[in-house]
């Protein structure tokens, strides 16, 4: 199994979720269909060189930041590359430092019932 984490600009997350569901890679409404434990969290990334229109100042961090979303999911090894490709295509902004996708090996998964 693989874990995919993607840091995606705020205005691209809806397109990414749609792309994951469109080709049937992830059935976002059904448990166990391609992807498991899909979560989306809003995060802030310090990024001084970004477009000033996308930045705001975080009082908590005392830094200029860009609002992003972190998408996390677990999938079978054989669909990981297709998922990464779909995420990268849908999240593309044409700007440098527009986000990152990380893929890790899952050593063990235990379902809680």
Q: Which domains does the chain have, with CATH numbers?
A: 2-40+68-105 (3.30.70.120)
- CA dist 113 and 22 (Å) reads 30
pTM of the model: 0.82
What is the chain's mean pLDDT, rounded?
Answer: 84
Q: What angle do CA 47, 50, 52 make, to 5 degrees?
A: 115
More confident residue, 56 or 67: 67
Which parts of 52-98 are beta strand (E)?
A: 55-58, 63-75
Q: Are 3 and 101 in contact (CB under 8 A)?
A: no
Which 8-state DSSP code applies to residue 93? -
What is the mean pLDDT of the segment spanning 21-37? Answer: 69
More confident residue, 28 or 12: 12
pLDDT of 3 above 90: yes
pLDDT of 57 above 80: no
- Look-up of token digits 């995420």: 87
pLDDT score recorded for residue 58: 60
């Amino acid at each position: 199994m693989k874990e995919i984490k993607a840091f995606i600009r705020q205005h691209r997350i809806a397109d990414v979720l749609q792309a994951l569901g469109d080709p049937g890679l992830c059935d976002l409404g059904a448990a166990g269909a391609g992807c498991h434990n899909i979560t989306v969290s809003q995060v802030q990334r310090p990024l001084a060189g970004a477009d000033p229109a996308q930045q705001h100042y975080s009082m908590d961090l005392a830094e200029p930041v860009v609002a992003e979303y972190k998408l996390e999911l677990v999938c079978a090894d054989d669909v990981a590359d297709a998922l990464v490709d779909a995420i990268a295509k849908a999240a593309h902004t044409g700007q440098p430092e527009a986000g990152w996708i990380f893929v890790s090996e899952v050593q063990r998964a235990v379902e809680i019932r």
